[in-house]
Structure formats: structure tokens, C-alpha cells
Structure 1
Amino acid sequence: MDPAITDDLSCWVTKAGLSGTSETELLEEFCRRGIEAGLPIDRALVVVDTLHPVHEGRVFRWNSRNGGESEVLEYGRTNQGGEVSENWRRSPFYQMLETGHSSMRRRLDESCADEFPLFRELMDQGQTDWVALIDRFTPGTEIGEMDCIYSSWTTAAPDGFGEDRIQALKRLVPSLGLSIKSASLARIAETLVETYLGRDAGRRVLSGRIERGVADRIEAALWFSDLRGYTRITGEADPGQIIPFLNDYAEAVISAVHEAGGDVLKLIGDGVLAIFNEASQAEACRCALRAEALARERIAEVNERRSAKGLPVTQAYIGLHVGEVFYGNIGSRDRLDFTVVGPAVNEASRIAAMCRSADRDVLVSDAFWAAASDEDRERLVSVGRYALRGVERPAELFTLNLWSEPDPAAS
């Protein structure tokens, strides 16, 4: 192959990586340009591990017979047994890692048909030659399990790739791997900040809002919830059950808040602090009430599953309030938290704590009641005035009239 053509392709893929091109677009265009340069690519596969709470990595696949478009698949943990682990151990990549090899090539014929299940599948599709490459990162630069880029390249050309094209791939693929690594690192950063800070807070941090003491003054609906009997339940439960217990109920509450348009800012043991920052206070209140209905529904489902297994169950206490808060970076020069602070946050916490005394699962403040729409106020009934710890004036609190509760799925 003409070295000038491969140099042009290497230059393009590097610039595309710098410009933030996605992994799927990188692979599609690399294959298209590679074919124009004389590489008879029929199928391509790129695999990269990631740092994600659920997925271990991502697979990018390209097939010339699929309209020249690539697709992405996410795979689970390969160290936890099951089908994913079994498929990984039966793959050529696993053998390459075990033997320390960086490349493997097979002419696809009966001599290798039974070496790996993949080869018979490729032969049945008319493929003639297969090449796999592993581009490893320098030790100490790994992020989680992300320590290399795996790729494989297949052709249906009668004579296969040919040695000169194999060498061209070996020169070109590291540039592609570097660009895919860049895109993957950006995705990891986004995942991490949104997972640990919350979706909106994470986006703000990535946009550059990391200066200490910089905060916006906003009006928001505030959510504070915790779990009924948490101290007793965790004191009586087997230690190995505590984290699954918290995860089950956190999933129910957090997914409800997110689906209703809110942002979870903090987990404090069994407590959840969230905000609903909408164009109007009435809309923010509506979103918070929808989140409450969704959470109640999902907690009921969790309780049903856990009860069937003889596991402890609970309910959530939820306090809702509306007020002005400071939303931004608070902390020291070495450790910042992107969160909300202000008297309104403390009041939301006190309202949630008052659920025990008032024997209610949900309490909302008079400020929330006043900010809500006429339709939503009709769903709220007063339970009287209460003195909240740390709050100067007694507050009238409201709860939901569940007889008038709408279906959360219809909101």
C-alpha cells in the first residue's frame, strides 16, 4: 500500500479524535477511508473497557453489509460468571491476553475452524482472513479495567488481506485506538461526575463550574427523604444485607426523582437530597409530587419482591419544600461538594423528620402548598401546625389526599 495514503488516514483519524468525534463515527469513517485506500475490510470490531457502575465495557461493530453503519453494545462484568464470562473466556482476545500476544492472524479455513466458535461463524459468512490486535496502555495509565484497545478486522477477499495490508493495519490501528480512547475517557468523565454529583451538577462541573465559592441563587422545590426504621432494621439485619437493602430502596427513590425531572444531589446513609429546578415553582412542585407517586409505587414493588424472599422491608418518609437556595461549589481548596445550601434545605430535612411524629409518609410545607398549582393544591390536606427544630415559626404542614391521587404513569 502507498505509505502516503496510510499517512493521510492516520492524520485524519487523529484530527477526528481531537475534534471529539464519537467512537461509532470514528470506526465507520476509518473503515470507509480504509477501503478507499485499498484495505479490503468487510467487518471490524473494537472493544474498550470503561469505568461504569454497571457495564464493564463497550463493543463497537462495523459490517460492510449493514449499510456501512456501526453499532455499539455494552457488556457486563466478565469476572462474575454467567454467559458474559463464558463468552469472554472462549474468545481469541482472552487467549491473547493470557499468552501476552499483541496480534493474531488466521486464514479462515478448516484448519482453524474449531479453534474458536467465532471462526466457524465467520467462515459461514464467507470471510477468508481475520486479524486481531491489542494496543496496550503504558502501565500506570490504566483507568479501572481500561488498559488497552482490542480490535479485529475481517475480509472476504479471496486472497485475504496480504502481508502489506496487515502491516498497514498495524500502523493505522494505534491512531484509531488513541482517538477511541480519547472519546471513551470523555464519556467516563461524564459518567463519573453525573453518577457521584448528580446529572445537572455533573454537567455544570464539566462545563467549568469548579471554582470554589461560586454558586447560583435559585428557587427550587426541595426533596428530602429517608427510610422508616432504618436504624432498627440495619441493627438487626445480617451485615451482608445492609448494602443490598440500601441499594434496593435507593434505586426506587432515585429512579423516581430522575424520571420526574429532578436531580439527586446527595445520599446521606438512607437519606436522599434532591431538587426540582423548573421554569416555574408550580411546575417544580408538580414534578416533585410526580416523583413522590412514582417512588411510592416502586417501593411497593420492592417490598413485594423482598417480602417474598423473607427480607426486611420499609417505607420512605418524604419532606417537600420550596425556597431559595445557593447551588454550587462549597468546601475547601482540596475537597469541594457541588450541592445546595441554605435555610430552605434545613427546613426540608426537618419536615421529613417530622413525618414520624405526624405519622405520615409524606409532608409538604405551607410554602410548597402556596407555590403549587390549583390542581395540585386540591390533592393536599392540612395536618396542622408543627414546630420544626431550628425553624423560628411553627409551620403548617400538608400531606397527600391519596383518594385524589392521579396515576403517575399518566403525568
Structure 2
Amino acid sequence: MDSGKAADIVRWVTKAGLTGMTELQLLHGFCHRLAAGGVPVARVNIVIDTLHPIHEGRVFRWRRDDQGNLDHMVEYGRTNVGGEAAASWRRSTYYHLLMSGEDFLRRRIGPGHVEDFSVLADLRAEGQTDYLVLIHRFEAEGVIGEMDSFYSSWTTDVQSGFTDEHISLVRELASSLMLALKCASLARIAKTLVETYLGRDAGSLVLKGRIARGVTDRIQAVLWFSDLRSFTHITETADPEQIIPFLNDYSEAIISSICEAGGDVLKLIGDGTLAIFKEEDPSKACQCALKAEHLMRSRIGALNRTRKAANLPVADAYLGLHIGEVFYGNIGSQDRLDFTVVGPAVNEVSRISALCRSVERDVLVSSAFFAAAATAERECLVSVGRYALRGVNRPQELFTLDPSWMQAEEP
């Protein structure tokens, strides 16, 4: 490959990184151009650690002869908690580079060549003849979470393997690719973090620039406030090591139900969950909230059966639903903001949820929610009477799900 073609690849990957291409688009575009320029690359893997609550990182893959049945991105779990994943990592060429301090490793593949890493036998079986591994390390200031370096592997199936020129070109050009990949990965990390800690809708608004203090929207939304029955008693009687797994189990059941039904979780307050459902048609928002309630009951029921079998503490959820106008946006100090909802309707839904205990109902919904719901949803709601809510001037009629409807809906 002449210097002009190499420069073209650098220009392309620089422009592609600036325009916001994804990791896969960058990798595939780079590899196609590298191969077109005369470097006989047959397969490439890029390993990128990330900052994610579940996954430690991702492997992005390119194959010259891809027939469409390749998983181009594979996510992997923690390699620092023992088990086969950790053992496999320590046997890898990537780990060898990390620990040795070297920045590349090359192995010829085939008869007469040493196979000091298990991956070499696999590559030989695939017909590969040469194997190059690179590590691109970050300085301390550039490290985010586990993302302290990028690893890449490059193979060819040409009988003579890579030439020295090919090796030099890959090592030189890969640096620009890794820089573009880092930009794409940082954007992905930012999206993951804001959605994980703020919620999908709030996170999306923050990434679009809605970060100014005091900037809010006045919206109409269904408000969800739930908490766990007997949580205080459980925290006082259960082993301390059980509390966090307990909360994680029930939070998963509740949050997944809200998200699947189209809601957005705004805040977790101990065992409490504040969420909203936004739709142009208020009756549709009410329908989504009731769908989430049904999903939650089903998942908590299945979870309780599993936990009881393991002799672990179990719980059920109290839920209050209301609809009203709220302010939605950035609220807080100059140094610490929260993207949330505020307004009288938020106070009301928390008071409604708190009444579940004294009224002995798992679900209570406001008269405003009942009025906004469509006929089909109103038919499954029954009045439990008028109640005074703390901090609210007038008593209001509250409703609950018809027990006969709830039994009919049980799986």
C-alpha cells in the first residue's frame, strides 16, 4: 500500500469518527479499506472494556468472508470475579500483553510454529496463517472505569502470512482507528450512564442539552409511586447481606415492568419507585400504567415463589397512581442537579401510595386517574370511598382494582 492510500484511510477514519459513526461502522469501514489497499486481512476483533452495570465490555468483529451469520458485537461479563471467564482471560494473548508491558505480539500459525496460546490452535483450524495482536493503552487521565486500553487482533489466511510492511501498516493505521473508536465508545458510555441513573427519557433530554438549572417543562403525566410492603420489618430481621440482593430482585421486577409498559423511572428512594407515563392521550397513559401494574404483579409473584423456595424473605408492592400537571426538568443547586418531577400532583401520589397500608389495598388510584382512564380501564376499577390526604385540602374518592378482575388476570 502506498503512502497516498494509507493517508486516505486515516482521513476517512478521522472524518467517520467526527461524524459519530458507531464502533461497528468504523471497524467495518476501516477493514474494507485496508483490504482494498492490499493488506490481506481476513478477520479482526476489537476488544473494548466499558462502563456498564452488567457488562465489562464488548468485542466488535469483522470477517472478510462474512455470510451474514456472524454476531458482529458480543458483550462479555466480569473477568475479575473468578470462574471460566476469568480463567479464559488470563490465558489470552490480550492478558499477556497487558501484563508484559509489550504493545504487540505476532505468531505465525501452522506446522512447525509454536502454539503457546490456545487461540492459535483454533485459528489454525480455521485456516489462518498469521496472527497479530495490539494493545493501545490510555494514560491515567483518559481511563474511564475498566476502559484503560483497547485490544485488537488481526489475522490472515494467505499462505505466506503478513509481510513486515503489512505489520507496520496495521500498527500505524490502527492508532487512528482506536482514537475514533474511543470517541464512539465514550458516547455510548455517556448514553448508558444517563439512561441508567436518570431514566431513558430524562437521559435523552440531558444528552440533547437540557442541563441548565431551573429549565423545566410543564407536562401532564400519569404518576406512579410504589414501595414494598413490610420493608422496614425485613431490614430489621433479615441478615444484612440479604438486603441489597433483596432490593435488587424486587427493583428488577418493578422497573422492568414500568419500562416495558412505556414508562420512565425517575427516582429510587430506598424501596420506593417514582415513575411517569407520558402520552398525548391521557387515557393511553393510564392504560400503560395499569399494564405495568399487571406485569409487576406477575413478576413479583414469580419472584416470591423462587425466593420462598430458597427460604429468603419475600414482599409485595403497594402502588399509588395519579394523573396531573407537573414540572419536569432540572432542579437543584449549582453543584448538584436532579432531573425529576415536582408539583402538588407528586405529593398527592405519594400520599395515595402511603394510604394503601391503612386501607389494606395493594393498589389505589386517584379520582383524576379514574376520570382520565378509558371505559375499559374504568370497568376494572372500584371505589373504596373518600379519604383525606395529608397536605391536600379536600378529601377525594379513591379507587382500586376490582379483585375479580385481578384474579381473572392472574397467570
TM-score (normalizing by structure 2): 0.97
CA distance in 2, matches of 1:23, 1:142: 18
CA distance in 2, matches of 1:152, 1:210: 40
For each residue in 1:192-240, what CA deviation from the matched residue of structure 2 results, as whole angstroms up to 9, or x when unmatched?
Answer: 0000001000000000001111100000000000000111100111111
Q: Paired residue for 1:24?
A: 24
Secondary structure, counterpart of 1:127 in structure 2: coil
How far residue 159 of structure 1 moved from its aligned partner, in angstroms, is 1.1
Q: Paired residue for 2:63?
A: 63
Q: Paired residue for 2:301?
A: 300
CA distance in 2, matches of 1:137, 1:25: 23
How far residue 104 of structure 1 moved from its aligned partner, in angstroms, is 0.1
CA distance in 2, matches of 1:112, 1:30: 30
How far residue 129 of structure 1 moved from its aligned partner, in angstroms, is 0.5
How far residue 89 of structure 1 moved from its aligned partner, in angstroms, is 1.4
CA distance in 1, matches of 2:113, 2:321: 65
Q: Paired residue for 2:403?
A: 402
Aligned length: 409
Give the 5 Å matches for 1:212-361.
212-361=213-362
CA distance in 2, matches of 1:305, 1:250: 15
Retained in 2: the 8 A contact 1:223–1:319? Answer: yes
Runs (4+) off by over 4 Å: 405-409
For each residue in 1:18-77, what CA deviation from the matched residue of structure 2 results, as whole angstroms up to 9, or x when unmatched?
Answer: 111111111111111001111100000101000000000000011112148870010000
Secondary structure, counterpart of 1:312 in structure 2: coil
Gaps of 5+ in 2: none
CA distance in 2, matches of 1:403, 1:175: 64
Secondary structure, counterpart of 1:21 in structure 2: coil
How far residue 395 of structure 1 moved from its aligned partner, in angstroms, is 1.4
Q: 1:408 to 1:329 in 2, by over 3 A?
A: farther
CA distance in 2, matches of 1:64, 1:363: 59
CA distance in 1, matches of 2:252, 2:146: 25
Q: Paired residue for 2:6?
A: 6
Q: Paired residue for 2:382?
A: 381
CA distance in 2, matches of 1:100, 1:112: 24
Moved more, 101-110 or 189-198: 101-110
Identity of counterpart residues, as a percentage?
59
Q: Paired residue for 2:370?
A: 369
Q: Paired residue for 1:93?
A: 94
Secondary structure, counterpart of 2:320 in structure 1: strand
How far residue 402 of structure 1 moved from its aligned partner, in angstroms, is 3.4
How far residue 301 of structure 1 moved from its aligned partner, in angstroms, is 1.0
How far residue 5 of structure 1 moved from its aligned partner, in angstroms, is 1.2
Amino acid at match of 1:324: E
Q: Paired residue for 2:74?
A: 73
CA distance in 1, matches of 2:316, 2:405: 21
CA distance in 2, matches of 1:309, 1:111: 55
CA distance in 1, matches of 2:79, 2:409: 40
Q: Paired residue for 1:38?
A: 38
Q: Paired residue for 2:110?
A: 109
CA distance in 2, matches of 1:194, 1:302: 25
Alignment of 1:131 onto 2:171: no
Retained in 2: the 8 A contact 1:63–1:70? Answer: no
Retained in 2: the 8 A contact 1:221–1:323? Answer: yes
Secondary structure, counterpart of 1:104 in structure 2: strand
Retained in 2: the 8 A contact 1:264–1:275? Answer: yes
CA distance in 1, matches of 2:82, 2:278: 42
Give the 5 Å matches for 1:112-261.
112=113, 114-261=115-262
CA distance in 2, matches of 1:106, 1:311: 52
Secondary structure, counterpart of 2:9 in structure 1: helix
CA distance in 1, matches of 2:71, 2:174: 17
Amino acid at match of 1:330: I
Amino acid at match of 2:360: D
Secondary structure, counterpart of 1:40 in structure 2: coil
How far residue 124 of structure 1 moved from its aligned partner, in angstroms, is 1.1
How far residue 114 of structure 1 moved from its aligned partner, in angstroms, is 3.3
CA distance in 2, matches of 1:15, 1:32: 16
Secondary structure, counterpart of 1:193 in structure 2: helix
Q: 1:239 to 1:60 in 2, by over 3 A?
A: same
Gaps of 5+ in 1: none
Retained in 2: the 8 A contact 1:257–1:288? Answer: yes
CA distance in 2, matches of 1:307, 1:408: 19
CA distance in 2, matches of 1:327, 1:408: 35
Moved more, 339-348 or 121-130: 121-130
How far residue 296 of structure 1 moved from its aligned partner, in angstroms, is 0.5
Amino acid at match of 1:250: S
